[in-house]
C-alpha cells in the first residue's frame, strides 16, 4: 500500500534521509513509491531502495505538480521491455502460423508494436507492426468478424498501420473489407452473440477503433448506428424472453449463460455502448443502459468482487474477463456518462479487490493475468489523478519485471497479446506515459 508519511517525521540527512515510520506496513527487500507532503513543497516522491527494520533509506526527487515514476524505475522497465521483446520474437518462431487473431495471434503482436511506436515514436516499431499485419492478412478465414478473434481485428489494425505509413490504397482496401463484414453482423437470421470476443460488440469496437485512430467518419456513422441498434434490439429481446424487462432492459448471453465480465458478458457490452464515439442516444443510455448497469451492480459480492455470471455464486475469479478487473471499466465509464458518485465509489472498491487479490497464478497476461488487472489502476488514475492508483499500477508492473520467476502457469500461447508475454510488454510500456494508457482492444 502507499505509505503516507507524516511531514513532522525526522529526516536525518538531506541527501539520503532516514524517515522513521510507526504503525505502517513494513516493506522488506522490496521497492515502492511513497508520497510525503512538506511545508513548502507540493510532493516529495521517494523511491525505496532498502528497508532496514522500521527505517526506510531513500533517494528522493521533488516534483511540484505532477506525479511521475522514478527515473531509475523507468530505465529498468525499458531494459526489461527490450529483453522481453527479444524473448518474444524468438518464441514466436514456433507460434501457430495460421493464428491471425488479436487475442493470441499475429494481429496482437502488430498491436503491441503499434503501442510501442505510440509511446516512443520509433519508426522501426511501426515497420514491425506492418510485418505482422501482413502475416495476419494472409490467413483470414471469414469465420468470425470481431476485433479480438475474427477478421475485423487484422483489417482494422491493417487500416491503421497503412494509414500511419501513408499507404492510402492499402488502408482503404482494409477499410472496405472491414465494412463488408457488416452483412453477417446485421443479418436478421444471424445467431451471432453480442459479447466482445465473438459477438457484435467486438465488431463495433473495430469500427470505433478505426475512427479513433484514423479520423472521425472514416467508418460512416450510419453503419455504427446500425450495429448499435442490432446490439440494443438483441438485448431487449432476451430481456423480454427472460421476463427481466423491468430490472434489466438489456440482457445478453453467450453459450446460454448470462456472463457479467468484460470478455463475454454484460460489462463489456455496456462499456462499449457508453463510448462517446458510439453515439448512443441519451434515451437509450438513461432508460436501457443505466438500469441494466444498476442491475449488475446489485449482483456484487460483499467483498466488492463480481460473479462471472448472473447465476454464479462463487467469489473466486479476479480477472479482466471475469470479475472486478473488467467490471471496473464499466463503472468508471458509467460515472463519466451519468455523473453519479455511486459508480466511482464502487469502482474504487473494485480497485481494492484487485489490490488485494489481483496478482494471479494464471500468469502475467491481459485477459486473466497481472497486466490486465494492472490496467484497472491506470484507468482509475487517469480519471481521479489519485497517486495511490499510479503507485499500485507501478507495483503490478514491478511484478511483471520478474516475468517467469513466480511459478505462474505457462499459458497455451505464451507469447501472445492476451494470454502471454506480449500483453505484459504492452502493460510495461504504459509506464512511460500512464496518463495516456489504454487497455488494448477494449479502451479507445
Binding positions for Zn(2+): 321, 367-368
Burial of residue 123, with CB atoms counted within 10 A of its CB: 0-12 exposed, 13-18 middle, 19 or more buried: exposed
Angle at CA 226, nearest 5°, toward 221 and 230?
Answer: 145
DSSP letters spanning 71-127: HHHHHHHHHHHHHHHHHHHHHGGGS-TT---TTTSHHHHHHHHHHHHHHH--HHHHH
> How many residues comprise the chain?
444
Q: What number of other Cβ atoms are within 10 A of residue 339's Cβ? A: 9
* 167-189 residues labelled b (16+ CB within 10 A) or e (exposed): beebbebbbebbeebbebbbeee
- Residues placed in the known binding site: 321, 367-368
Go through 357-369 and write b for each residue having 16 or more CB atoms within 10 A of its CB, e for each that does not: bbbbebbbbbbbb
C-alpha span between 277 and 398 (Å, rounded): 34
Amino acid at each position: 500500500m502507499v505509505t503516507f508519511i507524516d511531514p513532522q517525521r525526522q529526516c536525518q540527512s538531506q541527501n539520503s534521509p532516514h524517515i522513521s515510520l510507526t504503525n505502517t506496513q513494513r516493506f522488506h527487500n522490496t521497492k515502492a513509491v511513497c508520497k510525503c507532503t512538506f511545508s513548502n513543497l507540493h510532493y516529495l516522491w521517494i523511491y525505496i531502495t532498502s528497508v532496514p527494520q522500521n527505517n526506510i533509506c531513500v533517494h528522493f526527487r521533488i516534483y511540484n505538480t505532477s506525479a511521475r515514476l522514478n527515473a531509475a524505475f523507468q530505465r529498468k522497465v525499458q531494459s526489461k521491455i527490450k529483453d522481453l521483446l527479444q524473448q518474444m520474437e524468438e518464441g514466436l518462431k514456433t507460434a501457430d502460423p495460421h493464428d491471425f487473431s488479436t487475442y493470441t495471434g499475429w494481429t496482437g503482436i502488430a498491436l503491441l508494436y503499434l503501442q510501442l511506436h505510440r509511446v516512443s515514436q520509433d519508426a522501426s516499431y511501426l515497420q514491425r507492426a506492418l510485418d505482422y499485419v501482413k502475416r495476419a492478412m494472409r490467413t483470414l478465414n471469414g469465420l468470425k468478424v470481431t476485433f479480438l478473434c475474427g477478421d475485423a481485428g487484422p483489417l482494422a489494425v491493417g487500416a491503421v498501420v497503412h494509414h500511419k505509413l501513408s499507404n492510402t490504397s492499402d488502408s482503404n482496401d482494409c477499410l472496405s473489407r472491414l465494412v463488408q463484414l457488416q452483412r453477417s453482423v446485421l443479418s436478421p437470421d444471424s445467431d451471432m452473440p453480442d459479447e466482445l470476443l465473438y459477438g457484435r460488440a467486438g465488431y463495433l469496437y473495430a469500427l470505433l477503433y478505426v475512427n479513433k485512430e484514423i479520423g472521425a467518419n472514416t467508418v460512416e456513422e450510419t453503419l455504427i448506428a446500425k450495429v448499435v441498434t442490432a446490439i440494443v434490439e438483441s438485448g431487449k429481446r432476451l430481456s423480454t424472453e427472460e421476463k427481466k424487462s423491468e430490472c434489466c432492459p438489456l440482457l445478453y448471453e453467450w453459450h446460454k449463460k448470462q456472463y457479467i465480465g468484460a470478455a463475454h458478458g454484460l460489462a463489456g457490452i455496456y462499456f462499449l455502448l457508453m463510448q462517446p464515439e458510439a453515439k448512443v442516444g441519451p434515451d437509450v443510455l438513461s432508460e436501457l443502459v443505466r438500469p441494466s448497469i444498476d442491475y449488475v451492480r446489485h449482483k456484487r459480492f460483499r467483498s466488492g468482487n463480481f460473479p462471472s455470471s448472473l447465476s454464479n455464486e462463487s467469489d473466486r475469479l479476479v480477472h479482466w474477463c471475469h470479475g472486478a478487473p473488467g467490471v471496473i471499466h464499466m463503472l468508471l465509464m458509467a460515472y463519466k456518462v451519468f455523473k453519479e458518485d455511486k459508480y466511482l465509489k464502487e469502482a474504487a472498491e473494485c480497485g481494492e479487490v484487485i489490490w488485494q487479490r489481483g496478482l494471479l497464478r494464471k500468469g502475467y497476461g491481459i485477459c486473466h493475468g497481472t497486466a490486465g488487472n494492472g490496467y484497472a489502476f491506470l484507468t482509475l488514475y487517469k480519471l481521479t489523478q489519485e497517486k495511490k492508483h499510479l503507485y499500485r499500477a507501478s507495483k503490478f508492473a514491478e511484478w511483471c519485471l520478474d516475468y517467469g520467476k513466480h511459478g505462474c502457469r505457462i499459458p497455451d500461447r505464451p507469447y501472445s497479446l492476451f494470454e502471454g508475454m506480449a500483453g505484459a510488454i504492452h502493460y510495461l510500456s504504459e509506464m512511460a506515459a500512464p496518463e495516456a494508457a489504454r487497455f488494448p482492444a477494449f479502451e479507445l
